[in-house]
């Protein structure tokens, strides 16, 4: 298990929190570290919708949605982190900030995303 003081973990927490906040202030300009995510929101959200067909985007818990958006961006746009690391980190964020069902939901959606996008893990 990684330490909670891992700089990459702390950076993801900051980005996830900013994405969560951005959900409530959509008209405001996104900060630089989430601009790539917000610029590709259509692609990201459509993949999330494919992977969680029983939950429309507007019905997904906002914390879970922020975690998923960050993770999907890392998986299909940035592609600089191994998929297993992205998924593990997303599940950890779900445990730390989400509800009891968040880790399983996040893991399931990202697992399907990896399959759909044919990302080698």
* Residue 1 in domain: no
* Residue 47 in domain: yes
In whole angstroms, what is the distance from residue 5 CA to residue 76 CA? 26
* Residue 121 in domain: no
* Residue 104 in domain: yes
Domain housing 15: 7-116
| Each residue's pLDDT tens digit, 42-68 | 999 999 999 999 999 999 999 999 999
| Each residue's pLDDT tens digit, 3-37 | 667 888 888 888 888 888 877 765 555 566 688 89
More confident residue, 3 or 120: 3
Q: What is the pLDDT of residue 1?
A: 47
State pTM to two decimals. 0.81
* Residue 17 in domain: yes
Look at the chain and report how many structural domains it folds into: 1
In whole angstroms, what is the distance from residue 118 CA to residue 73 CA? 15
Provide mean pLDDT across the span 74-92.
Answer: 94
Confidence of residue 74 (pLDDT cuts 50, 70, 90): very high
* Residue 53 in domain: yes
Burial of 88 (0-12, 13-18, 19+ CB in 10 A): middle
Q: What is the pLDDT of residue 117?
A: 80
* Residue 34 in domain: yes
* Residue 2 in domain: no
Q: What is the CATH number of the domain that holds 82?
A: 1.10.940.10
Q: What is the pLDDT of residue 118?
A: 79
């Amino acid at each position: 298990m990684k330490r909670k003081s891992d700089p990459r973990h702390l950076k993801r927490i900051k980005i996830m929190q900013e994405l969560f906040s951005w959900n409530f202030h959509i008209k405001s300009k996104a900060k630089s570290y989430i601009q790539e995510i917000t610029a590709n929101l259509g692609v990201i959200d459509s993949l999330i919708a494919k992977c969680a067909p029983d939950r429309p985007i507007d019905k997904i818990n906002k914390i879970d949605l922020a975690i998923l958006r960050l993770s999907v961006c890392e998986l299909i746009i940035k592609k600089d982190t191994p998929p297993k690391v992205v998924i593990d980190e997303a599940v950890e964020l779900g445990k730390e900030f989400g509800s009891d069902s968040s880790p399983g939901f996040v893991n399931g959606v990202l697992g399907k995303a990896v399959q759909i996008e044919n990302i080698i893990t």
